[in-house]
């Protein structure tokens, strides 16, 4: 090994030893920050959806597909519906779930344990009924009998139409399972119309069995709240003999209940060629939000918000492009991730880097900046520490040299022993290896040894 390489390696070794404590402190601070911030999300989260073939079920599949692109597995947990999802969230059995406005009464602990990722879409209250049942039940009664109920409407083809909840008395109506949230919503709507639920023949079938019972004539009407993407909605809107109730008082409902929004299903929206529906239909619609448990990792929430922008941001039956998701009509506190994600585009780094890299940098950059601010002043001690380490290999021999000189000045007569000590010291000095930039100090040591030897020689000559 050449001398230049040996001196270079020696210099690097000294530098590493000098920088070592500094690097260990920096690594320790980074490890502590990583543990505290926990920047990497879990690889698996649970999303409560809804019954099979419902809009919640379809949306859940889309979220799972999008998050799988970033390595996050979304486990879809089927449920009875919105109320059941809220129950699962309150118990901490799921990380996220679709919850419809007005699903249940709020609890004080909800604001502490749950948060909203924004309103995703509106779910109109679809009240489908059999046209033959409307003719039979609404047209019955002796002519001229006074009534305080709103009169049944007439379609353009002369069909009797349902236009008020007060007209449902005596009807066989399915309001869905308790877990769907519709029974609670319908109770509120009936109460606002001063209708006693006991005057209706209410059943609690799931959507699919209820739809089959309606088509078979075993039910007069069914009620559920769902996004228009629901297969049941699509099918019933185009089924002959099945009509959709118009809510002419939709604006009044929205003023009475903050979670309801008046919406209109435009004429021909379902099928322009077949003119379905044949006229504008006014509806009331609760807003559905994606609710998360506050223990859910922020990075996961960020991915769900971004997925929500992709899934719900396009134009639809009851919305314009980019109208949803939004931060309106939320009954729970809004997540900070939702506020950032809905108002802004995808973060800059995530456009060019893999999600886990971009997320790590985004969540660690502030802490890294603080660590750098702390370490920069401390880094000033590295050059003096390096210089001290190199020079200490030279300076430590000055103590022995000083001792020999003092013994000469004190008249020590054992000159032979002193000459031998100087010789041994000179041999050791010749073996000292230092970086080339510090060789002047090494030569200074050897020169001082030579000066002390001359001083000893003079003392020895005087003694003789």
Predicted confidence (pLDDT) per residue in 13-31, tens digit: 666 666 667 677 777 766 6
Instruction: Report residue 406's pLDDT band, with 50, 70 and 90 as the boundaries.
Output: confident
pLDDT at 143: 42
Question: What phi, psi does 116 have (nearest 5°)?
Answer: -100, 140
| 436 secondary structure, DSSP code | G
Count the residues in the chain.
464
Lowest mean pLDDT among 196-210, 385-399, 412-426: 385-399
- Residue pLDDT, tens place only, 336-373: 889 988 888 777 667 777 877 776 677 666 666 766 77
Q: How far apart are CA 191 and CA 257, in angstroms?
A: 12
Share of the chain above pLDDT 70, in %: 84
Q: How far apart are CA 128 and CA 210, in angstroms?
A: 11
Whether the upstream peptide bond of residue 142 has omega within 30° of 0, thus cis, is no
Average pLDDT over residues 273-291: 92
Given a cut of 60, whether residue 140 has pLDDT beyond it is no
pLDDT at 113: 92
pLDDT at 164: 92
User: How buried is 420 (Cβ within 10 angstroms: 0-12 exposed, 13-18 middle, 19+ buried)?
Assistant: exposed
CB 180 within 8 A of CB 82: yes
Given a cut of 80, whether residue 424 has pLDDT beyond it is yes
Instruction: Report residue 93's pLDDT band, with 50, 70 and 90 as the boundaries.
Output: very high
Which residue in this structure is represented by tokens 């009998």? 145
pLDDT at 362: 72
**139 vs 115, higher pLDDT:** 115
pLDDT at 45: 95
- Residue pLDDT, tens place only, 37-49: 556 778 899 999 9
Q: Do the strands 172-174 and 221-225 form a parallel or antiparallel pair, or are they unpaired?
A: parallel
pLDDT at 364: 64
3-state secondary structure of 388: helix
Write the Ramachandran bin of 6: left for phi over 0, alpha for psi from -120 to 50, otherwise beta: alpha
Which residue in this structure is represented by tokens 């780094």? 349
User: How buried is 125 (Cβ within 10 angstroms: 0-12 exposed, 13-18 middle, 19+ buried)?
Assistant: buried
Given a cut of 90, whether residue 203 has pLDDT beyond it is yes
* Long-range contacts (CB closer than 8 Å, 24 or more residues apart) made by 158-162: 159/131, 159/134, 159/135, 159/243, 160/131, 160/134, 160/135, 161/134, 161/243, 161/245, 161/246, 162/127, 162/129, 162/134, 162/138, 162/221, 162/243, 162/245, 162/246
Q: How far apart are CA 37 and CA 288, in angstroms?
A: 31
Q: What pTM does this model have? A: 0.66
Average pLDDT over residues 306-317: 90
Which residue in this structure is represented by tokens 């520490």? 385
**185 vs 439, higher pLDDT:** 185
Average pLDDT over residues 142-148: 43
Q: How far apart are CA 39 and CA 32, in angstroms?
A: 12
Residue 278's alpha-carbon distances to 125, 160, 163, 271, 317, in angstroms, are 19, 14, 15, 10, 15
- Token pair, residue 326, equals 């939004």
Among candidates 120, 168, 45, 128, which has minimal Cα distance to 324?
Answer: 120
pLDDT at 29: 67
pLDDT at 89: 94
pLDDT at 142: 38
Lowest mean pLDDT among 87-101, 130-144, 163-177, 196-210: 130-144
Q: How far is CA 261 from the centre of its chain?
A: 28
Average pLDDT score over the chain:
83
Instruction: Report residue 78's pLDDT band, with 50, 70 and 90 as the boundaries.
Output: very high
Q: How far apart are CA 286 and CA 254, in angstroms?
A: 9
**156 vs 269, higher pLDDT:** 269
pLDDT at 54: 83
Average pLDDT over residues 314-341: 87
pLDDT at 281: 94
Instruction: Report residue 145's pLDDT band, with 50, 70 and 90 as the boundaries.
Output: very low
pLDDT at 399: 83
Given a cut of 80, whether residue 291 has pLDDT beyond it is yes
Whether the upstream peptide bond of residue 325 has omega within 30° of 0, thus cis, is yes
- Highest-confidence range of 94-108, 238-252, 368-382, by mean pLDDT? 238-252
Given a cut of 80, whether residue 65 has pLDDT beyond it is yes
Share of the chain above pLDDT 90, in %: 35
3-state secondary structure of 172: strand
């Amino acid at each position: 090994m050449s001398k230049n390489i040996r001196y270079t390696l020696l210099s690097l070794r000294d530098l590493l030893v000098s920088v070592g404590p500094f690097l260990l402190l920096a690594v320790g601070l980074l490890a502590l920050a990583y543990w505290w911030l926990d920047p990497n999300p879990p690889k698996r989260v649970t999303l409560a959806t809804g019954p099979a073939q419902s809009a919640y079920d379809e949306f859940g599949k889309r979220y799972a597909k999008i998050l799988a692109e970033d390595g996050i597995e979304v486990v879809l947990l089927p449920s009875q519906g919105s109320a059941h999802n809220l129950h699962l969230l309150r118990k901490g059995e799921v990380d996220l779930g679709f919850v419809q406005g007005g699903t249940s009464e709020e609890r004080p602990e909800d604001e502490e344990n749950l948060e909203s990722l924004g309103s995703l879409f509106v779910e109109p209250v679809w009240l489908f009924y059999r046209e033959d049942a409307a003719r039979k039940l609404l047209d019955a009664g002796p002519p001229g009998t006074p009534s305080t109920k709103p009169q049944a409407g007439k379609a353009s083809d002369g069909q009797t139409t349902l236009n008020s909840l007060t007209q449902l008395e005596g009807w066989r109506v399915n309001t869905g399972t308790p877990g769907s949230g519709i029974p609670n919503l319908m109770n509120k709507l009936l109460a606002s119309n001063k209708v006693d639920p006991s005057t209706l023949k209410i059943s609690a079938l799931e959507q699919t069995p209820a739809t089959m019972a309606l088509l078979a004539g075993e039910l007069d009407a069914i009620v559920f709240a769902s996004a228009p993407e629901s297969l049941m909605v699509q099918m019933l809107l185009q089924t002959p003999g099945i009509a959709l109730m118009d809510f002419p008082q939709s604006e009044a409902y929205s003023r009475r209940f903050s979670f309801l929004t008046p919406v209109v299903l435009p004429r021909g929206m379902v099928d322009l060629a077949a003119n379905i529906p044949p006229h504008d239909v006014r509806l009331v619609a609760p807003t559905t939000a994606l609710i998360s448990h506050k223990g859910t990792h922020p990075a996961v929430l960020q991915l769900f918000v971004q997925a929500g922008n992709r899934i719900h941001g396009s134009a639809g039956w009851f919305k314009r492009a980019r109208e949803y998701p939004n931060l309106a009509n939320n009954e729970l506190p809004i997540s900070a991730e939702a506020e950032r994600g809905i108002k802004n585009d995808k973060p800059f780094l995530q456009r060019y880097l893999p999600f886990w890299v971009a997320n790590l940098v985004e969540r660690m950059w502030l802490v890294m900046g603080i660590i750098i601010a702390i370490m920069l002043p401390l880094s000033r001690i590295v050059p003096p520490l390096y210089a001290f380490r190199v020079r200490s290999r030279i300076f430590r021999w000055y103590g022995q040299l000083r001792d020999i000189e003092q013994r000469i000045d004190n008249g020590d007569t054992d000159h032979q022993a002193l000459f031998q000590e100087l010789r041994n010291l000179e041999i050791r000095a010749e073996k000292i290896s230092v970086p080339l930039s510090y060789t002047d100090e090494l030569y200074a040591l050897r020169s001082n040894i030579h000066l002390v030897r001359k001083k000893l020689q003079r003392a020895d000559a005087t003694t003789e």
